[in-house]
Amino acid sequence: MPALPWRSKALLLADVLHRSFKIAGMPKNWKTKLIHSDAKIPEGFRSLSSGVQRASTVLFPSAASVKDEWDQYEVGYTYGLYGTPTTLELAARVCELEGGFRTMITPGGQCAISLINLAFLKAGDHVLIPESVYTPSRKFAAKVLRKFGVEVGFYPPEAGSGIQAHFRENTRMVWCESPGSITLEVQDIPAIAEVAHAAGAMVVMDNTWSAGIHFDAFAHGVDVTMQALTKYVGGHSDLLLGSITARDEKKWRQLGATQQLVGCAASPDDCSLALRGLKTMAVRLKAIEEAALSLARWLGERSEIERVLHPGLPSCPGHEFWKRDFTGSTGVFSVVFQPRFSKAQVQRFVDQLQLFEIGYSWAGVTSLAVAYDFHATPGRPDYGHRIVRLNIGLEDRDDLKADLTQALEGMG
């Protein structure tokens, strides 16, 4: 749990003494006891799990101490919206892993994306976004940012230092997502960061695929990262959470002030599940990495498959940057079928899978498959209807291989 400043601890103690004195000295109707109880339980409980602290109202020790300020590290706890100890514990744990200045938790990954844009962009600014970005992130830029007068440009994810050609005088932010959603292009982040910083723009990265573990974003020049904790930190497809981590205090303050006014708070119950998820993340990541790599290699040898888009394989665009900058891989990759397969056949492949389920999101324990169609998607590679994204879960690897084999053989 993040340490409270001494002043807050003192205020808390004064508050407890004050309240118990008030309650003990007053006779109470049973209805009042429902709210202000004198019941006692044993003290000294210790366990291995983090407590779940839910709150909208946070108590102040005196009328004069009441304040509505978001930075709970600075002023102590003031309102549930800005985090309870459960939320702040998850934030501090994610920050510790990512090596930033501080982290805030949002109710989902998409919320983290929107909040970053709202915190750092204003009318008249220009933002650059990779064509391979997560689709709702693209839509937020195209529909919401443009509505508020922000200029939005898209750049090829492989641009590297060639991103320079996409800069304008008013470019203030460059988004990266590496590897990209569905098409998995690994980006040359240090090259992009160098150009951006020279032009006075900040670099923001969606670091969800690496779980904030396999890619050290801050060491590679990123200023602000976000993750959908919904994925590997949660790990069981049963919660939605996001994180934003800032490299420095100035950016952290800008984010906090915006979060206070946007008013998005994560549920402490979900945060406690994510804290539990963290404990097993290392073993899940390792098992998933090994299974995904082995299945990706095997799929690459199948005659039905034209190309496997797994960052750990040379067939993936930007594989050289993965090799240079990443310490491992996770469980999401895509396959591109040979041109001879129709859309109906590709969909039949997905429908015939028995163990792989069909559904959005990823990084849970269940393997998933989703077919995409890029025919009407500008800026994406020419894979048409032939691309299927796989999420590898924790099922037995040979069973998954058998499932993929029977579905490939049944494509017709």
Ligand X SMILES: Cc1ncc(COP(=O)(O)O)c(C=O)c1O
| CB of 388 closer than 8 Å to CB of 362 | no
Binding mask 310-349 for ligand X (x = CB under 6 A): ----------------------------------------
Within 13 A of 317's CA, how many CA atoms are on the CB side? 20
Cα 290 to Cα 310: distance, rounded to the nearest angstrom: 12
Binding mask 114-153 for ligand X (x = CB under 6 A): --------------------x-------------------
Element (H, E) at 8: helix 6-24
**Whole-number minimum distance, CB 134 to ligand X, in Å?**
4
Binding mask 263-282 for ligand X (x = CB under 6 A): --------------------
Q: What are phi and psi of 388, to 5 degrees?
A: -130, 130
**Whole-number minimum distance, CB 115 to ligand X, in Å?**
12
Q: Which of these segments, 6-14, 38-46, 107-115, 255-263, binds ligand X (CB under 6 A)?
A: 107-115
Q: Which is nearer to ligand X, 72 or 210 (CB)?
A: 210
Q: Which is nearer to ligand X, 78 or 243 (CB)?
A: 243
Sheet with 126-130, strands from edge to edge, namely 102-106, 242-246, 224-228, 202-206, 171-177, 126-130, 151-155
Q: Which is nearer to ligand X, 11 or 288 (CB)?
A: 288
Within 13 A of 209's CA, how many CA atoms are on the CB side? 30
Binding mask 238-257 for ligand X (x = CB under 6 A): --x-x---------------
Residues near ligand X (CB under 6 A), total: 12
- Long-range contact list for 4-9, CB < 8 A, 24+ apart? 4/76, 4/77, 5/73, 5/74, 5/76, 7/76, 8/75, 8/76, 8/77
Q: Which is nearer to ligand X, 84 or 237 (CB)?
A: 237
Is 206 a binding residue for ligand X by CB under 6 A? The answer is yes
Within 13 A of 382's CA, how many CA atoms are on the CB side? 2
**Whole-number minimum distance, CB 179 to ligand X, in Å?**
9
Using CB under 6 A as the criterion, which residues of the chain lie in contact with ligand X when the complex forms? 108-110, 134, 181, 206, 208, 228, 230, 240, 242, 361
